[in-house]
Amino acid sequence: MSLVQPIVELIDVHKKFGNVQALSNISCKIPRGKVTALVGDNGAGKSTFIKIICGVHLPDSGKFRFQGEEVRWQSPDESRVAGVETVYQDLALVNSLSISRNFFLGKELHKWGRFGPLDRQRMNRDALEGVASLGITLEDADRSVAKLSGGQRKSIAIARSLYFQPKLLVLDEPTAALSIKESQIVLEHVEEVRDRGISVIFISHNIHLIYPLADRFLLLDQGKVLGDVEKHDVSPQDLIDAIVHGTSLGN
């Protein structure tokens, strides 16, 4: 067993919405510098799980530790300050805004302090450099994101999250609705993120897609942990069978 402190640890976490028990007795650890694939069928509790980590929801009971310290974040802003960046399926991009305005949305750079005019030159430069760091070349930071491909939009969302130097990157179905080529580009981005030493939680329904990339798998079913395993201890078919039949994997 590794003695390295996990980036995230949940201990006996429960979360209920009305009569629906979204999470029940969740205990797990997310290792540092690794890609943890969070898998499970629809309604398994994956979204609630990441929303607790990202500060959207508080657990009803149990403990949530980030970098060894117990936390009770009241908002996503608190989680971002602590070093958690999230890329949701909808990407939170505004079609009517430019690449650079989307890149710094809510965290715009200003000249002469926070009340000065926008530093558009720096924003444009940093946005293009951020996307270029992932191997994507865009010529005009003032271009509307509505004119970009799905893969380019995903690249902007991931590059934006990395610009703020996260300790943990959470990706919610980042390859959804992408072509095979675009999906492969996203997976290559995630490999680069891991190579930088950043911890990653990658939600996916596609076991065969995520399997080569993931270091370990956290399997949820009906709000419970059915498996928390290293990749070398489980095959893609083992994971698929566990999801289909609701059976536990060896821990």
Residue 228 in any domain: the answer is yes
Per-residue pLDDT, 250: 65
Residue 59 in any domain: the answer is yes
Question: Rounded to an integer, what distance in angstroms lies between the CA atom of residue 5 and that of residue 3?
Answer: 6
Walk along the chain (251 residues) and give the pLDDT tens digit of each residue. 456 799 999 999 999 999 999 999 999 999 999 999 999 999 999 999 999 999 999 999 999 999 999 999 999 999 999 999 999 877 678 989 999 999 998 888 999 877 889 999 999 999 999 988 887 889 899 999 999 988 888 888 888 998 988 999 999 998 887 888 888 888 988 999 999 999 999 999 899 999 999 999 999 999 999 999 999 999 999 999 999 998 998 65
Residue 113 in any domain: the answer is no
Per-residue pLDDT, 2: 54
pLDDT in tens, 152-198: 888 888 889 989 889 999 999 988 878 888 888 889 889 999 999 99
137-144: long-range pairs with CB below 8 Å, 24+: 138/99, 140/99, 141/98, 141/99, 141/100, 141/103, 142/98, 142/99, 142/100, 143/98, 143/99, 144/95, 144/96, 144/97, 144/98, 144/99
Tell me the residue type at 176.
A
Per-residue pLDDT, 181: 84
The boundaries of the domain holding residue 25 are: 8-83+166-245
Residue 112 in any domain: the answer is no
Residue 144 in any domain: the answer is no
Per-residue pLDDT, 1: 45
Question: Rounded to an integer, what distance in angstroms lies between the CA atom of residue 173 and that of residue 201?
Answer: 10
Residue 120 in any domain: the answer is no
Residue 20 in any domain: the answer is yes
Residue 138 in any domain: the answer is no
SS3 95: coil
Whole-prediction pTM: 0.89
Total tally of structural domains belonging to the chain = 1
Per-residue pLDDT, 182: 82
CATH number, domain with residue 188: 3.40.50.300
